A = this chain, B = another copy of it.
């Protein structure tokens, strides 16, 4: 759902490699998202028009809307391409013996290792995502895609998984929620705090960690 659907009535057989048309399409998609994110980061969202983004991406205005439903969505996509989507990829490299939740925590820990290098860029993007109601709304919309990606990435770690099992999707949502709330708190603190640690704290705060049980703070970075 990240790429706006093509009108392809001309179905491609599943096994074949993507043709020139599809490669061009995803390349254009990426150029637009990158241009949108860069312009919005530089000049602000309101000051960036779709015309500018389209020109910067080397396409026409009408074409822009064939790729993204809204300006905010293009920006949010460009911001996040460098961000949370990689989590699904990292998840694949985490030891298979780890359970779903532990795998997520390990993946975040891995990502947190070179967090400091990206801190300023990350803060800028996190602030931009929250800078207006419309921007936040479309960011939340994108999170759904990430939830699905994470759900697919962890699904194999569930044993006795029945079709339609709610657990992978719920874990995907839980993961994104932890990231979102941790980011909220981090941004509210002007990006001074330790975001990876915050994420781990939120991840640990599962709904079944009943108050009577100690809910050990889990202070690992």
Contact = CB atoms under 8 A, between A and B. Distances in A.
A202 interface: yes
A158 interface: yes
Interface of A: 69-70, 73, 99-101, 133-134, 136-138, 140-141, 143-144, 157-161, 164-167, 169-171, 173-174, 177-178, 181, 185, 201-212, 215
Nearest to A154: B207
A92 B193 CA distance: 34
A177 B171 CA distance: 10
B202 A166 contact: yes
Given A208-B209, A210-B99, A170 B178 contact: yes
15 contacts: A69-B134, A73-B137, A99-B210, A100-B211, A101-B207, A133-B141, A137-B138, A158-B211, A161-B211, A165-B205, A170-B174, A170-B181, A170-B206, A171-B207, A206-B208
Nearest to A161: B211
A211 B156 CA distance: 11
A99 B203 CA distance: 20
Contacts of A211: 99-100, 157-161, 167
Contacts of A137: 73, 137-138, 140-141
Nearest to A180: B173
